[in-house]
Amino acid sequence: MVKKSNKSLCVIGAGNWGKNHIRTLHEIGALGGVVDIDESRLLAVSAQYGGPSVYQSVEDALEESFDGYIVSTPAATHFDITKRVIESRHHVLVEKPIALNLKDAEILRTLADENGVNLMAGHLLLFHPAIANVKKLIVDGAIGDLQYLYSNRLNLGVVRTEENILWSFAPHDISIFQHLISDFPVDIVSRGGAFLRSNVHDTTMTILRYPNNIVGHVFVSWLHPFKEHRLVVIGSDGMITFEDSSHEKSLYYYDKTVDFVDGQHVASDVKREKIDYQSKMPLTEELIYFTSHLDGKTLDIATADHAIEVLRILETASQSLKV
């Protein structure tokens, strides 16, 4: 049972993902308003949820002074809308990317600091309970020293027209890596192929090298015969796997290492342990977290700094794709 919120939030954008925000805010008792230029969408929201105020302009919604705002419009509009919300001195959660380039993202961060408001990025998977468990296992030393990790995010479609696969799929995985490692790569290289359309990559492999000899691989493709969302984390004393695309969404810990014995590398016996975790919806957890910080309490997850790190990695990886 989700505890009802005493906050009132406004969702800007009632499209594909905005509908999920609207539904979830309604479920936690925090839906106050909805903005969309499409009147038919607003009529549908009113009919389904009976109560939220509806607006066709951001300015009208800002005059109502909700406790917080969620920007879930097309990515090209994120900077302008988020800037207006921040300048009106309101806390804001903006879907990723918070801006289309690093410069604009840094402007938003500075504005949020100057106006004393929280700028949170919609890096949803940071609120997945399995990822929270992976983070805890690493911090608690269950796998020893972190050595390398890889993430596969593969599917047949949906092929985007406005961005390549790196910008479409990889932000999820890069965000998870940054969350788990808490450091910035010292080297970023990406390679891939454009097969369906020229100059628009359908598949990429990005290699991230971090301090302390930690290596990460991100493999993404929308030209793949089956769906696979897999995270593997390797340490000196153990390993973790998370199969997000499986029905069970299994999380496993492997008490497995490779030792050097009598001049030979010997793999230890595999002891696999299933890690149980609470089945919570990441979007619900994300929105509860955002609403709990509407008093101005400092964010620790999905911060503007985190979003800018992800953008910086994406921009560097994109440059290497052009080589």
What is the per-residue pLDDT across 6-55, written as a single tens digit (0 to 9) for each?
A: 899 999 999 999 999 999 999 999 999 999 999 999 999 999 998 899 99
Q: Tell me, what's the pLDDT at 3?
A: 66
| Lowest-confidence region among 150-164, 182-196, 301-315 | 150-164
Q: Tell me, what's the pLDDT at 323?
A: 58
Between 317 and 6, name the one with better pLDDT: 317
What's the rounded Cα separation, in Å, for the pair 18 and 24? 10
Where are the extended beta strands (E) located within the chain? Answer: 9-12, 31-35, 53-55, 68-71, 91-95, 119-122, 146-156, 187-193, 203-210, 214-221, 223-235, 239-243, 251-254, 258-261, 264-267, 272-274
Q: Strands of 251-254's sheet, edge to edge?
A: 187-193, 203-210, 214-221, 146-156, 223-235, 239-243, 251-254, 272-274
The CATH number corresponding to 9-117 among 3.40.50.720, 3.40.50.880, 3.40.720.10, 3.40.710.10 equals 3.40.50.720
Instruction: Using the predicted structure, report yes or no on whether residue 1 has a pLDDT greater than 60.
Output: no
pLDDT 10s digits, 68-84: 999 999 999 999 999 99
What's the rounded Cα separation, in Å, for the pair 69 and 7? 11
Instruction: Read off the pLDDT of each residue in 307-323 and give the average, rounded to a whole number.
Output: 93
Peptide bond into 54 cis (omega under 30): no
Q: Tell me, what's the pLDDT at 259?
A: 74
pLDDT 10s digits, 42-66: 999 999 998 899 999 999 999 998 9
Kindly indicate whether the domain formed by 126-280+312-321 is annotated with CATH number 3.30.360.10: yes
Provide, rounded to the nearest whole percent, the portion of the chain with pLDDT above 90. Answer: 86
Instruction: Using the predicted structure, report yes or no on whether residue 205 has a pLDDT greater than 70.
Output: yes
What's the rounded Cα separation, in Å, for the pair 53 and 33? 4
Whether the CB-CB separation of 5 and 27 falls below 8 Å is answered with no
| Lowest-confidence region among 51-55, 88-92, 214-218, 306-310 | 51-55
Paired strand residues for 252: 241, 274
Q: Where do the structural domains in the chain lie, given as residue ranges?
A: 9-117, 126-280+312-321
